[in-house]
Amino acid sequence: MAARKTTARRPATKPAAAPACPDCDGKGETTETVRVGARKGRETDDRQSALCLTCFGTGNALEE
């Protein structure tokens, strides 16, 4: 029988961190102004959070 050889292990490497999304700064959400009215769409002082459409809420910039 041949002697068993051990294989060298590769050191574990962390995957490169994805860059943060430029539109939401890595939060995954943006704030939108609430609009009121059918014709003029008057802006109010209120805000609501919305899902970032650039990164789809992940907070990471998507590669093109």
- 22-63 tens-digit pLDDT: 888 888 888 888 888 888 889 888 899 988 888 888 888 776
CA nearest to 44, candidates 55, 54, 59, 34: 34
Per-residue confidence (pLDDT) for residue 3, from 0 to 100: 79
Q: Which has more pLDDT, 10 or 64?
A: 10
Q: Is the dihedral of CA 47, 52, 57, 58 positive or negative?
A: negative
Per-residue confidence (pLDDT) for residue 12, from 0 to 100: 81
